[in-house]
Structure 1
């Protein structure tokens, strides 16, 4: 019932982790692999290991989370060694997030010549150059980078995007993405630069950036659904959508699929529950589909109705 095809791989279900959650170490990656998730992704990596921002840098909230992690990771070689020396039958995604275009291009060149046969995710939604916006908010730079990437990269590749809030920006980014043979677009990353306050202590709750951080979980679901829907109706049919943001139960998953997502990434709630969450999500989504009379995801995927 929940099986789906993505990048020429059949997945048992559409669920996987969001990069950054439960995927830092090989031990965590192995736990994802042995979970009931349909696929899994590595931590967004930089060429060299990074310790990230000072703690506290992640806080669970009653309606979501806030974080300013600073891209802590074990470094490109650590994850490349894992994905090229671990025999796995589940689709594996490899996430990269260089601090410059040159770093991204170098990592992609190494992936291109490696034995990695999964799917690569180029994270365009992390800070690039200090004082500059996230790369995906700079449309000219995004187009320039993707042009350079597809001059040589031939393996399956997707991009992870930040949230957009204006129809003109949906249109502009879709026009750029449609120029390239992308496998997918992952939308959204956390909603940037939120601020959460502890009213008793009268202070912010995380240390980096004077308390400013990315929001995740249920409080960003409406924004995530809007971005999934916006890109699903603007991108070429060959470019699939991974829906990320606010998935805590089967109903959330159903709504993402209804908006046009093909695969679903779970972040905040995975952090709270651990990999056993995928059993619950699959069960709840199956129950909803049965009640509605759907035997397969493709029977309703992308078929959200407008009021008319």
Structure 2
């Protein structure tokens, strides 16, 4: 019932972790591989190992989470060695996420992946709002196009990009016009909603240390924005560019809504952090229950078929 076709592969279900959650170490990724997730993605990596921002840098809050992680990771060689080996031992597909500190670093990492034995999907994170002093490439449309032009001059393996949220319909139009020029496998939307602020009233202070408390919001807070971005790009991108919906997925209904807006795969972050890998089995079961009540036998029967009010 939940089988999903994506990148010439049939996934048992469309559920994945969001990069950064439960994927820092080999041990965590093995737990994802052994869970009911349809696929999983590595921690977004840089060329060299990074300690990230000072703690506390991630806090669960009542309607979601706030974080300013600063891209802690163990470096590209650690993750590339893992995925190259794991792809031969598991049937669970693996996505490889990179998030360089500069365009040049992203190019260097993609060259390394191109030359490697890894034959899965690479996810290029163009939305890293939690690195102090570093702007997001995806909010600079000219730089985004320049970056993609350089990448597709040499990169021939499947590539998707992760985007921040957009809030203006004109920006959907502008970004989609750029993305449609390139043979992208997918767009992952959205990353966290940047620069939120959460306050501990008892202490009269912020709850995370980096950036004076400013951090990316995740969870229930951001689902309406995530759904809008999924829908915005689904209706504007070439059909060959699939959508991964990310943001605010806590239960089967949330998953159904993302799929209805046009997503093909779904990534879970905040709620996975709170609940652990058992969440995939729960959400898959809840999604199946919803589909059964509605009479759907496959996701393709309703994917992207969100109705507008026309009367």
Q: 1:182 to 1:271 in 2, by over 3 A?
A: same
In 2: Cα distance, 1:91 partner to 1:175 partner: 30
- What are the superposed Cα offsets for residues 20-49 of structure 1, whole Å, 9 maximum, x if unpaired? 000000000000000000000000000000
Shift of 1:130: 5.9
Map of 1:242 onto structure 2: 244
Q: Match for 2:195 among 190, 193, 196?
A: 193
What SS is found at the alignment partner of 2:16? Answer: strand
Q: Match for 2:274 among 272, 275, 279?
A: 272
Higher mean C-alpha deviation, range 168-177 or range 131-140: 131-140
In 2: Cα distance, 1:131 partner to 1:172 partner: 25
Q: 1:303 to 1:163 in 2, by over 3 A?
A: same
In 2: Cα distance, 1:38 partner to 1:132 partner: 33
Unaligned ranges ≥5, structure 2: none
Shift of 1:245: 0.1
Q: 1:74 to 1:129 in 2, by over 3 A?
A: closer
Shift of 1:73: 0.3
- What are the superposed Cα offsets for residues 42-85 of structure 1, whole Å, 9 maximum, x if unpaired? 00000000000000000001110000000000000000000112
- What are the superposed Cα offsets for residues 229-248 of structure 1, whole Å, 9 maximum, x if unpaired? 00000000000000000000
Q: Match for 1:90 among 65, 89, 92?
A: 92
Residues 69 and 130 in structure 2, CA contact (< 8 A), matched pair in contact too: no
Q: 1:128 to 1:51 in 2, by over 3 A?
A: closer
In 2: Cα distance, 1:214 partner to 1:48 partner: 23
Residues 119 and 156 in structure 1, CA contact (< 8 A), matched pair in contact too: yes
Q: Match for 2:107 among 105, 108, 120?
A: 105
In 1: Cα distance, 2:142 partner to 2:251 partner: 37
Residues 99 and 128 in structure 1, CA contact (< 8 A), matched pair in contact too: no
In 1: Cα distance, 2:35 partner to 2:70 partner: 27
Unaligned ranges ≥5, structure 1: none
Shift of 1:88: 1.9
TM-score, length basis structure 2:
0.98
Q: CA RMSD in A?
A: 1.0
Shift of 1:133: 2.7
Residues 191 and 246 in structure 2, CA contact (< 8 A), matched pair in contact too: yes
Q: 1:33 and 2:33 equivalent?
A: yes
Map of 1:161 onto structure 2: 163
In 2: Cα distance, 1:69 partner to 1:231 partner: 27
In 2: Cα distance, 1:248 partner to 1:289 partner: 17
Residues 100 and 129 in structure 1, CA contact (< 8 A), matched pair in contact too: no
TM-score, length basis structure 1:
0.99
Q: 1:193 to 1:128 in 2, by over 3 A?
A: closer
Alignment of 1:1-308 (within 5 A): 1-86=1-86, 87-127=89-129, 131=133, 133-308=135-310
Residues 127 and 135 in structure 1, CA contact (< 8 A), matched pair in contact too: no
Shift of 1:181: 0.1
- What are the superposed Cα offsets for residues 144-175 of structure 1, whole Å, 9 maximum, x if unpaired? 00000000000000000000000010000000
Residues 128 and 135 in structure 1, CA contact (< 8 A), matched pair in contact too: no
Residues 128 and 134 in structure 1, CA contact (< 8 A), matched pair in contact too: no
